Structure 1
């Protein structure tokens, strides 16, 4: 859609300028007292002026990330695209700004819905107040097209459940969690637990270290019970489970020894 608008604008501008030049070169005066060069004057002068003014505006406002910035939605091409998980590798500002907000070119390492990995680029307008949130290692849900994986768009749908499903499937594929644990997280009682002990056996899966935690879990009635939990954590999240930290956890009343802890991905 955006490419079509650009092509139509460019062709229209070329025709407008072409007609102006053609008119100026082929104009024949009908009055011997008419000043020379009159063929270059008249209403035709407006054609190249409008063309030169409109083309940059159209190209700027149909650029990558511009439509999303104004509409809060993904572009039509990506709106129904597949959802993957994009990990930021690097980012740079392009030099373009919209309402003093910079456009950023982000390089992602993307894990697709089928588990395959690829590198892709996204361009988006980022408010200055959120620019510091873009850093290597941050994981974001992205939309991509299976037949063209060099470009992606950060998902703008706001569907947190969909993003969580993509994250869950990724963790299952990597052996970091199981469907049974995800079921506990979904159906279990939500409460809090205090980390009483922490040990690192040394096992690693996909860059995630195995952590063994001793927890004291508080029941809804105020009583508590102790249990041990094993979890694979990324290095950036290990700080969230230090001894003395209070964690959000879920458990099923019929099996209090199976407790699932919930941690923020991009904390």
Structure 2
């Protein structure tokens, strides 16, 4: 869509200027005061000089997505990857007083390969504080092209969750059995009674072992233990005394899955 819009704008500009020049050069008049250069045709290049820059501005990276609330047609069918924010900065462009930012990502593709890329998007001022290094966002990318991605705007949380699950399995953070518990299990709250850190590290995530007291839906409780790999910033969410969300299967209360937000 962006390419077509820009091509049409350029074509209109070329036709407008071409017609104006042709009319001025070929115009013939018997009056010395009647010039072919000053006529209604003069409005065509003026309109073109207004329309063409506007089309290029509004079809810039991140601008069209902000106006439509959807990814560009080029990336709409792209693959889902996981983009970890490395840094970001303002580009100097704003839309309705909302800044455009360029975000530098480390992207993990669907095949597990990692590459550096970047995206431009309009970020509301109220959400700018949530954008920080280490935040993980679902992104759309094109296989074979690593220089550019788009933050996924499809709202397809299931597809993003699948990408996250596959990544966690590849890195050894979880198993298919635990994901099955998270999908089919009973949600419950648990209190952290103990916390230990064995010292094992995977991909910058520390292994933690928790002693939990889980409250069943009927109000009764049971004790169990759980293991999870967490980034350093998330360890504070599982300190002793904290209430956490868990999932379990009634037929196997020894196996409990801890649920924490991705960007906790």
TM-score class, shorter: over 0.9
**1:20 equivalent in structure 2:** 20
How much does 1:14 deviate?
2.5
Aligned length in residues: 264
**2:177 equivalent in structure 1:** 180
Deviations along 1:5-37, whole A, 9 cap, x unmatched?
A: 212211321332233234334444323xx227x
The alignment status of 1:102 with 2:99, answered yes or no, reads yes
Give yes or no for contact 1:20–1:44 (8 Å, CA) kept in 2. yes
**1:115 equivalent in structure 2:** 112
Q: 1-side partners of 2:157 and 2:23: how far apart? A: 59
State the superposition RMSD in angstroms. 1.4
How much does 1:67 deviate?
1.8
**1:79 equivalent in structure 2:** 76
The alignment status of 1:226 with 2:223, answered yes or no, reads yes
Give yes or no for contact 1:237–1:265 (8 Å, CA) kept in 2. no
Q: 2-side partners of 1:2 and 1:28: how far apart? A: 41
TM-score by length of 1: 0.95
Runs of at least 5 residues in structure 2 that lack an aligned partner in the other structure: none
The alignment status of 1:5 with 2:2, answered yes or no, reads no
**1:140 equivalent in structure 2:** 137
The alignment status of 1:57 with 2:57, answered yes or no, reads no
- Runs of 4+ deviating beyond 4 Å: none
TM-score by length of 2: 0.96
Runs of at least 5 residues in structure 1 that lack an aligned partner in the other structure: none
**SS of equivalent residue, structure 2 residue 23:** helix
1:196 to 177, 193, 197: 193
**SS of equivalent residue, structure 1 residue 157:** coil
Deviations along 1:204-260, whole A, 9 cap, x unmatched?
A: 011110101111111111111111111111112111000100000011111111111
How much does 1:40 deviate?
1.4
Deviations along 1:32-83, whole A, 9 cap, x unmatched?
A: xx227x2210011101110111011111111111222122111111111110
